[in-house]
Structure 1
Amino acid sequence: MHADTSAKTPHPLRRLSRVWTAVAWCGALGYPVALYFAMIAGRGGFTFLMVASLIALTALTGLLLRSRPLPALAMLLIGWAVARTQMQNQEILYLQVVLGDLAVGWIAGTRPRRTSIPAAVLAFGAEFGTILPSMIGNPERAVQLTAFLALAAGAAWLAGDSARERRRHAEELSARAATQAVTAERLRIARELHDMIAHSIGVIAIQAGVGSRVIDTQPAEARNALSTIEVTSRETLAGLRRTLVALRTSAERDAPLDPAPGLAGLDRLVASALDAGVRADVRLSGERRSLPADIDLAAFRILQEALTNVVRHAGTDECRVAIAYAADEVRVEVEDDGGGGLSGGHGYGIVGMRERVGLLHGRFTAGPRPEGGFRVAARLPVPLGETG
């Protein structure tokens, strides 16, 4: 057996990261010492090499703000506090304030407030402590410098914290939009499955009942019922298969899928309803034309669900289907004179139809007719110039 050494042997990139972190900490620990001797040597003027070295050490210490913000900030503040002991001039004070407050802004922009607020207090305290000796005996200057340091630290913290809040808000909006998109897709799939299966199961249930009643007395009629059940079952299985394939291969845009159903399949709906014992009288008006795919599918599903409701609930053997093509919309309607229907327009089918129409910014009504029976009507807007 071979021992697993993957956990004992670090990845090369991980080893390099550890080495780099060790180098950064060595530079940070030596930063105050380097500043101390640089200020002593710089009293007669700074050389280019000295300035470049200090910039490199400052950047090296600043890199640690990403992993250890408060210790890295402490090293920066200690370094410039030491520098101020050797060189008391405005330039060094400004450098101390700028570097300290930039670090505070970075911490506030990347860390929670439980870390950034102590960082701002620490920076202000260190800066105030270094100028305290120069303010003795000059209260007016003391007030001015204290206000300046407080405003600078507060502004840096506020800028960083505001940036962090905006970023967090944008992430929340993005996550909410993703959740809403997933929910909308789930509802769309639920509507598709309901509209596709409910119609077929309704037809199968009715045909099974007819077959069971006449199998002994009318074998030919029973065979017709069984044949209808077989055809309807195969169509439903094919539709389910297409839906599952579409879900599994949604990232494959070129996946060979059958076209979505539309009003071109109206004859099949009418024939299916007739097999279930309901004759549909179809009336078309307007110039029949190709519709956008989403509108064509919605119109088909609404008619399918409405006919299913007639077959299952209306208690009648006929109904009327109307399709009207207008310049800017298409209207579909199914009404019957039966005594059933869905009182109040409740049920998943009605809800699904209403949602489909709402997503397309159309109008939908469903309910009992004053003269008896039930009526389902939808008006789907068609943008001018758009066709399927």
Structure 2
Amino acid sequence: MRQRGQVWVAAGVTLVGVPAGLALTGGNVDSAITGALAVFLAGVVLAVRRWPVSALLVSVWAVLAFRAADLVGAGWVWPATAAFVGAMVDGRQRWAIAVGALALWWGFVWDYFVQMNTFEFAVGRVGAEALWLAAVLAVTHAYLSTRRWQEEVAARLRQSLTEQELDARRRRAEERVDVARDLHDAVSHTLAVVGVHLNVALDAFDDEPEEARDAVRLAQDVRGRAMTDLKALVDVLRRDPGTSEPAYGLESLEGLTGQVSAAGVRVRLVEVGERADVPAPVATAVHRVVQESLTNTVRHAGAEEATVTLHYAPESVTVEIVDDGGGGLTGSEGHGIMGMRERVAALGGTLVAGDGPDGGFRVRASIPVTV
């Protein structure tokens, strides 16, 4: 959807820019001629997305025909700029360079051999066109390289986070096995010792009441120590109840935003209120929402800056991620947003995602803090 909008913008710029550019560069200013060329080239631009090479060839043919008819003078290549950019974006860099080189060569031949202008005049006019075309191709190539680099960084970031999750889950599974073993040993040992002391107390209850009381006291001491050990083991098991995935704390967000900033998108982390004791499931959900939102920003939004805001309240934690890109919901939600919404809903919270109030894209989640 974004690419379709960009094509329409390029067509609009071509429609308005061709007459204005011809007037500025000393070309034909007849409204009928310039209007016809502008409408024709704008229509061709609309076909760039589906037929990039054909649109490029037709556009160049049109401007060369106008040049041969002496309807344009200097600046005769630039009306086909959108077609060159479209071919580059579609991955047809070689076509764009080859067609541009042939067009420039034709321009030199026309000025020098056909129009019989001086060599210096022909080289100067073609040189100006060559500089413009080279600048357009270079800027487009730089933009595409930057986007590829950001996508690669986003992919590496996602892969790194996945590997961290797998490693954390493995460690958590090993930890649970250890806890289960310790729990079994503690319960078995405690029951055995308590059983021995209770048997002693039962045997000595009538004949030696003092010994029976001592045995009961020892059983109570063992029971107290066992309860302490069991509580510690249960606390480990309840770090993130209901799931085997690793629990992330809110302090991990700084490292996450730092990784995204390395991908070329400046990320600002803002915390409002005092950070309270947020339960592990809520902290993990906040981490996941921020992680998925920033990953989508790097991969799809074309943003330069994003802001992550955390608002702590006694009853809830609210997280909002806003970027200045052009991303938005188009049709059905993606798996990432659906996953975030389900995760937040499982904790009794709500999540909304869509266009921000000042443009860009916004994800906002509010999760209740249960005590």
Q: Scaled by the length of structure 2, what TM-score is found? A: 0.43
Larger Rg: 1
Q: Scaled by the length of structure 1, what TM-score is found? A: 0.41
